[in-house]
Structure 1
Amino acid sequence: MIANFWSHWIPFEQAGTTIIKTAWPLPCSRYCFVADVEAIKIIFNNRHGFEKEIQIASSHFCMIISFFGDNIVGVEGYQWVLHRSIARKSFGERNDALLWHETVSTLEQWFSEWDEKILLSKTQSTIVNITPALHDLTLIWHALRPQDTGTPCYTMSFGELLFVAIETMIVKVVTPRWMYQLPITKLQQSDTAYTELRNYIVDMIAAQRNGKQPGSEASKEVADLFRRLVAANEEEELVLETSAHTITFALALLAIQPDIQDNVFREATAVWPEWATSSLSDTINCCDFILSLEYTLAVFRETLRLFPPVVRTKRDATSDTTLPSRVRDPQTGSWKAAPVAVPAGTACVVCIHAAHMSPLYWGEDVSHFRPEHFMDTADYQWPRDAWIPFTAGPRVYRLLPPPELDGLSREQQRTKLTKWMPGVTATPGNVNLVFEPRN
């Protein structure tokens, strides 16, 4: 099958082309699967020539994406401009500062808990399932979390509710309401998550409209994105975000490649020589150091290359056009230009993961986790157009695979630790890692 996570570049390699054209008889439609970077640039940049399919009745993807209401991903034209104008002013240095402050604060809290576990167990390390541990890394909730003790009790934290809602969204879309009366655990869990998540959001909106200030100092200064959304939308039209999936995959990859993990540690130590005696969340401004973390940034970019949140997206051609493409010469094996005609009405599927896994842009080691793919040198510049994707505290840990994976090859460890489930985005499974304090 083309354009899924497992196939990535393989169909294009077998076909010897960067664009594959197909047709479906029922319903009668033409498809164009695109893994050519130059063609992808044209599709994304020409919003009038290649439009999103936004009719919910004919798009299961848009039905899911717009489940909470209209948003910047699921709308086009005037509505897209409106959503973008609301959100874009809030993304900049101030938002980066908020993200840095809250991420470091969360990590420091986790490290304290893991230190305590190691102390109580009298061992040299502790095993942590990082998938649920990262559920609370949700930017808007950290920026606006209530500080008083009178907050209503919920069965799960905000982050856990958000993840359960995302993971059961397809169930919520396709299940008729009467079935929720049946004793089915998955349905009851989904119903509880959506009910409590709705209550959380309503409480936060009410606090904002009543003029209450967020609790933390960082929130008071920089959490204006939520206020803009509240001012521009009705109570149940807000969209929340999280970066936890990417961090989960990154930690799993670092655990099975200790050489890369050590490089990250050395870079962080060079940037923050005072890490052992001070709290990074209080002493460091993210804008002062971010460009110094070249290798660490490359690690996260490489993680997003291997595990993009969305593996494909679709645009419909509004008129007859051509797209640049390349085909492989069967005699020499070299690739040469071969433009492809695209009739009006063709569904152009941008295969993001195929472009990320193409040796034409990333080299023959494309399947390996190598942050060097994103580090410029005198004779190499990483391919910006072929990358299409959506540290730490005063205590420092070494990441290791769990004991049950000892003896397996690195590739086998990677397969087990980076298992994922298809959903609205690529969702990691349970990832157990060993956290061992560094000397």
Structure 2
Amino acid sequence: MWLSILAISLLSILFVTSRILKFVTGLKKVAYLPGLRCPLGSMSFPGTMLPTNLLNPGFDWPWKWRNRIYPSYGSQTISVVPFLSGVPVVYTCSPDVAKQILSNQHGFWKDPEATAPLTMWGNNLLTANHDVHKRHRKVVGPAFNGSTYAFVAQEASRLYAEMMESEGWYKQQVVNLEPINGYLSKFALGVVSRCGYGLPFPWNTDNREGMSFDRALMIVSGGTILRLIAPRWAYKLPIKRLHEVDEAFKSLAKFMRAFVIDKKAELTSKESEGSSPKVDVFTRLVAASEAEGKNGLDDQELIGNVFTFLFAGHETTAHVLQACLALLALHPEEQGVCYHNIMQVLGDSRNPTLDDFDALEKVLFCFQEAARMFPGASVAERDTDDTVSLTLPAEDGGRTIVLQPGVRIVVDLVGIHYNPRVFPDPERFYPARWQGIRETELPSFGWGPRACIGRKFALVEAVSFLALFLRDWQVEPILKEREDKVQWRERILQATLVGLAFGVRDVPLRLRRRGTRLALPLIAQLNLVNRACRD
């Protein structure tokens, strides 16, 4: 008995000692930056699964504590040091520090564990490090150009028309969508499918037999997290959702392997015939890779890049569109500004093209402001594999801090977007703040050599959709009984991780048709599209 008690006591002492050493080592690694001290790390598996509270910051603390956490420690760069589980983490809401981290300098890298959801299909531009990233960037870059963006504007208009026709909204004066999220997610997925892969994405996909490509895309997009956490044996259980996800992943893998082979053969054929290849991203990506010869991407890397664009492009754009329409529903005066801009540029019935992008600036500003308030990605992560130095801005003392290997560094995009030093009155929806700001300065898409390569793709898609949508519909919030707009915003506009992206959950909106313009132009457009397809 006494031996057992002694053994337990010794083990307890060893455990407590190890935790104290872990904590002290963690403090040293983050240069004793002030911040949160907690049992579980904010980026650890148990920590992210538990809700945010005083004992466990969790994943959502940058959103839930966005207005008070950094001021409470008197610094725009703070640390989270756990003593039970997890690595020490440095968070910053300072653009100056963020640009140092995102400069791709030596000492920072992307840990494969942190990017696991994006490497399921192969290494890619978003997950690669250093020289490998440069190789991917060189190959991928040419796939995004003016022809691609013009194609995006064209297909966004066509898919919008299909959505109106298929859903029967063109016949209605008022449409209640509770929520609107699914429609916007499907729209963004359709644009990526058409412009990313050059494949048809019919709006009606539910009544066809078998696992079509577009249906597999939709299931995989929503089932990635489940695929990561579910063990292989679980797919033998009689659970319909697991079987559906398993079939979708296997079907999509088969489709993509065939696509690579077919695209290479198609490009060879086009080259011999002297004709131009298609303008979708995948075709251009394969062409650019083939042109690089031995320095090009292998088949798995090609697939990995295209799937990364799919997930990063469709979910983030859809979530920001949801937030944008919700904010416009709360601010009818800003809707009026957009509507006036759209009518000046497009008139009653003309579809937007790439040439209209700059002129539709009021629409663009609304999307950019929604992306500031509800960014598709809430954080950008790096890890230290060497000793690195960061210089804090003058308002934080201007000192240089030295971080040791094994520290995770998080650029807190929510923190930057709600930093009053960067964006005065950050809780206010104020699209005009983006007047005169260049696209490359948008923090939602990152800075430096690893800024989002699909930025213009997303902006053209969003502006094209919003121009069509806001010309046809006035958007209003669907309020509960005795609820006002302030209460609706507090209830609805709460952001969290939704799928693989950051955004708001169910957004209930009411659409009221503006006049009688909607029906005939869309029907005429659909007829023209259908005739063109038959021809």
Shared fold per TM-score greater than 0.5: yes
> Which residue in the other structure is 1:77 paired with?
130
* One-letter amino acid matched to 2:390: T
Please tell me whether residue 387 in structure 1 is matched to residue 438 in structure 2: no
Higher percent of residues as helix: 2
* One-letter amino acid matched to 2:511: F
Please tell me whether residue 173 in structure 1 is matched to residue 224 in structure 2: no
Indicate the SS of the match to 1:359.
Answer: coil
Match of 1:429 among 484, 493, 505: 505
- Cα distance in 1 for partners of 2:170, 2:323 equals 24
> Which residue in the other structure is 1:13 paired with?
71
Once the two structures are superposed, residues 107-134 of structure 1 have per-residue CA deviations (whole angstroms, 9 ceiling, x without a partner) of: 12223345x3463xxx631123432223
* One-letter amino acid matched to 2:401: A
> Which residue in the other structure is 1:366 paired with?
426
**C-alpha displacement at 1:186, in angstroms?**
3.6
Indicate the SS of the match to 2:390.
Answer: strand
> Which residue in the other structure is 2:199 paired with?
145
- Cα distance in 2 for partners of 1:306, 1:158 equals 34
**C-alpha displacement at 1:163, in angstroms?**
4.2
Match of 2:380 among 309, 313, 336: 313
- Cα distance in 2 for partners of 1:154, 1:15 equals 58
Relative to structure 1, is the Cα distance of residues 319 and 35 closer, same or farther in structure 2, using a 3 angstrom cutoff? same
**C-alpha displacement at 1:438, in angstroms?**
0.3
Relative to structure 1, is the Cα distance of residues 109 and 90 closer, same or farther in structure 2, using a 3 angstrom cutoff? same
Relative to structure 1, is the Cα distance of residues 220 and 147 closer, same or farther in structure 2, using a 3 angstrom cutoff? farther
Relative to structure 1, is the Cα distance of residues 417 and 109 closer, same or farther in structure 2, using a 3 angstrom cutoff? farther
**C-alpha displacement at 1:180, in angstroms?**
1.4
Structure 1 stretches of 4+ moved >6 Å = 381-384
CA contact (8 A) 2:324 2:366 kept: yes
Once the two structures are superposed, residues 143-196 of structure 1 have per-residue CA deviations (whole angstroms, 9 ceiling, x without a partner) of: 312599xx9955677555434323322221121111112233442342243234
> Which residue in the other structure is 1:249 paired with?
323
- Cα distance in 1 for partners of 2:334, 2:176 equals 20
Indicate the SS of the match to 1:360.
Answer: coil
**C-alpha displacement at 1:308, in angstroms?**
1.3
Relative to structure 1, is the Cα distance of residues 194 and 95 closer, same or farther in structure 2, using a 3 angstrom cutoff? same
CA contact (8 A) 2:194 2:201 kept: no
> Which residue in the other structure is 1:332 paired with?
none
Relative to structure 1, is the Cα distance of residues 415 and 98 closer, same or farther in structure 2, using a 3 angstrom cutoff? farther
> Which residue in the other structure is 2:413 paired with?
352
Structure 1, 235-244 or 81-90: larger mean CA deviation: 235-244
> Which residue in the other structure is 2:362 paired with?
295
Match of 2:118 among 59, 65, 70: 65
CA contact (8 A) 1:9 1:355 kept: no
Give 5+ residue unaligned stretches, structure 2: 1-56, 271-275, 291-296, 446-451, 453-463, 516-535
* One-letter amino acid matched to 2:372: R
- Cα distance in 2 for partners of 1:226, 1:383 equals 26
Match of 1:223 among 280, 287, 292: 280
Relative to structure 1, is the Cα distance of residues 87 and 118 closer, same or farther in structure 2, using a 3 angstrom cutoff? closer
CA contact (8 A) 1:267 1:295 kept: yes
Relative to structure 1, is the Cα distance of residues 253 and 183 closer, same or farther in structure 2, using a 3 angstrom cutoff? farther
* One-letter amino acid matched to 2:506: N
Relative to structure 1, is the Cα distance of residues 133 and 344 closer, same or farther in structure 2, using a 3 angstrom cutoff? same
Once the two structures are superposed, residues 85-110 of structure 1 have per-residue CA deviations (whole angstroms, 9 ceiling, x without a partner) of: 12111212112111111111111222
Q: Which has the higher contact order (CA 8 A, sep 6+)?
A: 1
- Cα distance in 1 for partners of 2:371, 2:229 equals 30
- Cα distance in 2 for partners of 1:221, 1:400 equals 40
Indicate the SS of the match to 2:97.
Answer: helix
Q: TM-score, normalised by structure 1?
A: 0.80
Indicate the SS of the match to 2:358.
Answer: helix
Once the two structures are superposed, residues 25-66 of structure 1 have per-residue CA deviations (whole angstroms, 9 ceiling, x without a partner) of: 456854321111111111111422422224xxxx2x222221
Q: Bigger radius of gyration, 1 or 2?
A: 2
What RMSD over aligned residues (CA atoms) do the two structures have, in Å? 3.4
**C-alpha displacement at 1:384, in angstroms?**
7.2
- Cα distance in 2 for partners of 1:220, 1:211 equals 8
**C-alpha displacement at 1:320, in angstroms?**
4.2
Aligned residues: 403
* One-letter amino acid matched to 1:429: R
CA contact (8 A) 2:70 2:77 kept: yes
Please tell me whether residue 263 in structure 1 is matched to residue 328 in structure 2: no
Q: TM-score, normalised by structure 2?
A: 0.67
Indicate the SS of the match to 1:183.
Answer: coil
